[in-house]
Amino acid sequence: MNTLLKLVVQRVALGILLLFAASILIFVGTNILPGDVAQAVLGQSATPQALANLRAELGLDQPAYIRYFEWLAGVLHGDLGKSLTNGQDIAAAIGQRLSNTLFLAAVSAIIAVPLAITLGLIAVRYRDRWPDKVISAVTLASVSVPEFLLGYILMYFLAVQFHIAPSVSTIYPGMSFWAKLHAITLPVIVLVLVVQGQMMRMTRAAVLNLMQSAYIETAELKGLRPFLIIARHAFPNAISPVINVVMINLAYLVVGIVVTEVVFVYPGMGQYLVDHVSKRDVPVVQACGLIFAAVYIGLNMLADVISILANPRLRHPK
């Protein structure tokens, strides 16, 4: 039990370390590169005095490492700073948007995960026959089109031509749950399609790899029914690789969501981030970047922890 706990603690510690390193990277990325925030905000025609004033206001006259620690201390206390463009408190502005984004992500994941695993298993069951081939062809097609284009294709056909779903996903507090669901039909379909390909292909590979192991042959030679072979011998060993696949792809969903929100004008984190990148609103970009990175790092960490926990060699040491 001890080694197991040690490994998990190590992995979690590594995750936290990575998160800190990522925060440094984000900070460095926005500060040390040749661009100047004040210049960027005020434009080329700004007077030197105005630039100096803004720099002082932003604390840009202080050394970078001091600004980093001040920023980090703020973040740890839940203070993400103020937006440059409208002076709003960023944490307050993010709150509602974050829950909108998580709602969209959750609905997509609830549909995508079981679907991908089922299709992956079908591909294994009919390996190298037509269902498998159709599934790989669809996979190839879906990874070949960027999310935003997939969004517009669906919008063009489902919303504009056939009026099945709304083309813009407006949601606001106080909307009923079903109304919200209806509003996000298209972005959910896009996200499901986007993560589907990879998740299916990886599930297929993981399960195929498992079905070719010698202990599955042993089970066959024991004369067990196919159902028992899968339930007793394949399933317990499949949990870990499949959960790993799921986690990695949910992390991938984080990226897809940014673009999808912009396409469907969905009031979430992604749209907020992109808006403020074009406005060169650095504090907002830093805060959003950090939150996205944290989710991504967290999911990857979770995947690793689960595979540590599911490994019988580690669970029952010699």
Q: Name which position in 245, 285, 302, 303 contacts another protein (CB under 8 A).
A: 285
Mark residues 155-184: x for contact with another protein by CB under 8 A, - for none: xx---xx-----x-----------------
Please report whether residue 220 would count as binding another protein according to CB under 8 A: yes
Please report whether residue 140 would count as binding another protein according to CB under 8 A: yes
Please report whether residue 282 would count as binding another protein according to CB under 8 A: yes
Please report whether residue 281 would count as binding another protein according to CB under 8 A: yes
* C-alpha dist (Å) from residue 212 to 25, 125, 218: 43, 13, 11
Please report whether residue 224 would count as binding another protein according to CB under 8 A: yes
Give just the sign of the alpha carbon dihedral 63, 66, 69, 75.
negative
Restricted to residues 250-279, the positions that interact with another protein (CB under 8 A) are 251, 254-255, 258-259, 262, 273-274, 276-278
For residue 260, the minimal CB distance to another protein (Å) is 11
Q: Name which position in 56, 92, 110, 143 contacts another protein (CB under 8 A).
A: 143
Stretch that binds another protein, among 4-12, 47-55, 72-80, 145-153 (CB under 8 A): 145-153
For the chain, report the end-to-end CA distance as a whole number of angstroms. 11
Please report whether residue 16 would count as binding another protein according to CB under 8 A: no
Restricted to residues 23-42, the positions that interact with another protein (CB under 8 A) are 25-26, 29-31, 33-35, 37, 40
Please report whether residue 205 would count as binding another protein according to CB under 8 A: no
Number of neighbours of residue 167 by Cβ within 10 angstroms? 17
Question: Which residues are within 8 A (CB) of 94 and not within 5 positions of it... i.e. 6 or more apart?
Answer: 80, 269, 272, 287, 288, 291
Q: Name which position in 81, 292, 302, 303 contacts another protein (CB under 8 A).
A: 292
For another protein, the closer CB: 119 or 147? 147
Max CA separation in the chain (angstroms): 85
Residue length of the chain: 318
Residues contacting another protein: total by CB under 8 A = 74
Give just the sign of the alpha carbon dihedral 222, 227, 230, 233.
negative
Are the C-beta atoms of 264 and 186 separated by less than 8 Å? Answer: yes
Which structure tokens are listed for 304?
Answer: 């690793």
Q: Name which position in 166, 198, 280, 305 contacts another protein (CB under 8 A).
A: 280
For Cα atoms 219, 221, 226, give the angle at the middle one, nearest 5 degrees: 55
For another protein, the closer CB: 125 or 232? 232
Of 169, 176, 134, whose CA–CA distance to 154 is shortest?
Answer: 169
Please report whether residue 215 would count as binding another protein according to CB under 8 A: yes
Please report whether residue 93 would count as binding another protein according to CB under 8 A: no
Please report whether residue 297 would count as binding another protein according to CB under 8 A: yes
Please report whether residue 219 would count as binding another protein according to CB under 8 A: yes
In sequence order, the β-bridge partners of residue 84 are: none
Are the C-beta atoms of 276 and 288 separated by less than 8 Å? Answer: yes
* C-alpha dist (Å) from residue 68 to 14, 57, 63, 128, 253: 21, 16, 9, 54, 29
For another protein, the closer CB: 116 or 147? 147
Which stretches within 77-213 are classed as H helix?
Answer: 90-125, 130-143, 147-154, 177-183, 185-211
